[in-house]
Amino acid sequence: MNNKKYFQLSVLLLLQFMVWGSWYVTTGTYLLQTLHFSGREVGLVYGAMSVAAFISPLFVGFITDKYFSASKVLAFLHLGGGFCLIAMYSFTAFQFFYPFTLLYAVLYLPTFALSSSYVLQQLEDPSKQFPGVRVWGSIGWIIAGNIVGLLSWEKTANPFLLSAALSFILGIYALFLPKVPTVEGNNKASNSFKEFFSVEIIQLFKQRDFLIFMISITILYAIPVAYYYSFVNNFLTTIQVKNAAGWMSIGQITEVVVLLLLPFFLRHFSFKWVVFSGLFLWGAKYAVFAFAAGNPSIQFIWLPAILVHGFAYIFTGLAGQLYIDEKAPRHLRNTAQSIITFAMQGLGTFFGSYFAGWMVERNIAASGEYNWTNIWIFPSVAGIALSLFFLLLFKQKEKQEQSLPNN
């Protein structure tokens, strides 16, 4: 990969994750402590991404495979998203704030799959080269989180303005990205919507391991993630952690390290054990939070849960993207990446966000204090127990079977 292409792809993912990281982590704190939304309302706000997963990623992935270049679709989605973020900054009542959050989610969510697919299609060896490009997404998240934390914006609406500005920049930048060469089999003459449910995609779900993997990331990955993004920042601020957004960005620092080491892990350990480790760590980190909530006098007892975030996120989310990229037919890569976005951000995240909000609401005392120990117990027990589901039923064992060759 030449330096020009590496720069173009790295900037794309840097901005992609800065847009998201600017507002997503701290919005729960802003909504609960400043706007005084209920726990369920916060759950619905964070569940907007999963509602959008039922609407946009699969359709957008399909039309991108068939009709429009990924760069033009990305530009349209990010420019439209910028206006929605300005509206989210402006409105403070739930009945007005939520519709624009939902519209923004419909526009932004497909960009995960499109940006990943766009990058993967330009790499000669995705399993080796993608982590080196994707690492800039984590760096973008770190930069955004530290800007918000250092400026003490966690309880304000200012992160929405920052995200809007970045979204406009990314939308314009996407217009100047080179088109991906047309892949054989991806022709506009075959325009039946039935191809969205093509034989190749259906055949993937008939494979036992693929089906177990999709079930696992829908339930085991998405539900714990819903808790993390919705309420961890608020948890840290309520236990008097200064610059909580900055501290949470440490998880992205470990993410950078794990990203760079992912080819090593996939080469020396089976895909099964890499994904199981990530799923297990999602549950284990909440056990640490539960212990920290019950022992607030112990300084930095919550820090190990932040440190393992990178392992949990990369060993599940990114490894899953590489797995899908290897399994899917070349001419349906955008659709396949949209399917994993649907699985990771859809059903699991929707119910996870709503349940997390309900759990928080049930554990607020009359004094306004949270029973964080009770809040964290469920995702801890569920995450650890259900990760065993994947370990026992996913049968791919040999290293040579799980290697990720080029298509």
User: What is the full DSSP assignment across 334-398?
Assistant: HHHHHHHHHHHHTHHHHHHHHHHHHHHHHTB-TTS-B-HHHHHHHHHHHHHHHHHHHHHH-----
CA distance 215 to 227: 19
Return the H-helix or E-strand segment holding 227.
helix 222-238
Q: How far are the Cα atoms of 17, 194, 274, 280, 304 from residue 391, in angstroms, in the given order?
A: 30, 34, 10, 10, 24
pLDDT at 6 over 80: yes
CA distance 30 to 19: 17
pTM score, whole prediction: 0.68
Q: Where are the domains of the chain?
A: 12-178+195-402
- The residue with greater pLDDT, 192 or 128, is 128
- The per-residue pLDDT for range 226-277, each reduced to its tens digit, is 778 778 888 888 888 888 888 888 887 888 888 788 878 878 888 888 888 8
- Model confidence at 66, pLDDT cuts 50, 70, 90, reads low
Question: Which pLDDT does position 348 carry in this prediction?
Answer: 67
Provide the residue count of the chain.
Answer: 407
Question: Which pLDDT does position 404 carry in this prediction?
Answer: 40
- Model confidence at 60, pLDDT cuts 50, 70, 90, reads low
Locate 248 and state its tokens. 């949470």
Mean pLDDT, residues 29-52: 86
By CB atoms closer than 10 A (0-12, 13-18, 19+), residue 252 is: buried
Cα angle at 111 between 87 and 141, to 5 degrees? 75
How far from each other are the two terminal CA atoms of the chain, in whole angstroms? 17
Mean pLDDT, residues 347-360: 76
- The per-residue pLDDT for range 266-303, each reduced to its tens digit, is 788 888 888 888 889 988 999 999 999 888 778 788 99
CATH number of 12-178+195-402: 1.20.1250.20
- The residue with greater pLDDT, 122 or 162, is 162
Q: How far are the Cα atoms of 68, 218, 317, 320 from residue 341, in angstroms, in the given order?
A: 19, 10, 10, 10
Mean pLDDT, residues 304-324: 82
Lowest mean pLDDT among 88-92, 184-188, 354-358, 389-393: 184-188
- The per-residue pLDDT for range 101-112, each reduced to its tens digit, is 999 998 998 888
pLDDT at 9 over 90: yes
Lowest mean pLDDT among 73-82, 119-128, 163-172, 180-189: 180-189
Give the residue among 352, 325, 354, 319 at the shortest CA–CA distance from 338. Answer: 325
- Model confidence at 57, pLDDT cuts 50, 70, 90, reads low
